[in-house]
Structure 1
């Protein structure tokens, strides 16, 4: 299979993209803040695994709560880094000089949405763990 060289384009963020990035970063910051604030009130043992019916089936030390925001932050940073290289992504349509900018914008925007969604999911997991 012959590979064609895709155009490398440096994308400028639109106002909307900057807002989505800001929302993701704000939510990640609030996630950490919530864990710091709630830590002192946690029980010594917190649930770290739930079965399919939603019951905790494994418990750990209260400091294990920090693993969730650390993982969320690692995923956020990884997705931020990967988002700088849209010319390496897989696309359903062939990338040409004419459609590259539009395809790259849509792909990077999707990753921005994914970053926000990852942080929201981890926030829900932290909330469930804290209030169990």
Structure 2
């Protein structure tokens, strides 16, 4: 990080930001709920890797699905915490008092989109694997 002193701001969440936060949390809770409800119905051995043609070529215990959801939850929490400190992000422009709010808002919104996409991918992996 450069030696410049960046302003520390408390950003107000817009409607879009609140919606993204709610969507990410809803996806995460949906993934956990689905896993807990479907777990007893799953076979002991589930596919853990698929070939390019979509055929499973590696198998593992069904408890491996909990690992996927745990990683999704950990990433969700880490990105949520990181979003609290936008003054430490890397930016293409120098951050000044005049542009800090806009730059921080853009950066934190990008992280919110990323958080939703990551959780969606992990939940989709759990769902696809459980349904196979």
> What range is the shorter-chain TM-score in?
over 0.9
- Count of residues in Structure 1 that have an aligned counterpart in Structure 2: 132
Q: Once structures 1 and 2 are overlaid, which stretch shifts more, 12-21 or 40-49? A: 12-21
Gap regions ≥5 residues in structure 2: none
Runs of 4 or more above 4 Å deviation: none
Q: 1:110 to 1:62 in 2, by over 3 A?
A: same
- Alpha-carbon distance in 2 for matches of 1:96, 1:76: 29
Residue 2 of structure 1, CA deviation: 5.8
TM-score (norm 2): 0.93
Residue 53 of structure 1, CA deviation: 3.1
Partner SS for 2:49: strand
Partner SS for 1:33: helix
Gap regions ≥5 residues in structure 1: none
Partner SS for 2:52: coil
- Alpha-carbon distance in 1 for matches of 2:2, 2:119: 38
- Alpha-carbon distance in 1 for matches of 2:57, 2:110: 35
Query: Residue 104 of structure 1 corresponds to which residue in structure 2?
Result: 104
Partner SS for 1:57: strand
Q: Is 1:86 the counterpart of 2:83 in the alignment?
A: no
Partner SS for 1:40: helix
Q: 1:76 to 1:107 in 2, by over 3 A?
A: same
- Kindly report which structure 2 residues correspond to 1:36-115, keeping only aligned pairs within 5 A, or say none: 36-115=36-115
- Alpha-carbon distance in 1 for matches of 2:77, 2:50: 27
- Alpha-carbon distance in 2 for matches of 1:60, 1:27: 25
- Alpha-carbon distance in 2 for matches of 1:51, 1:5: 50
- Alpha-carbon distance in 1 for matches of 2:52, 2:109: 33
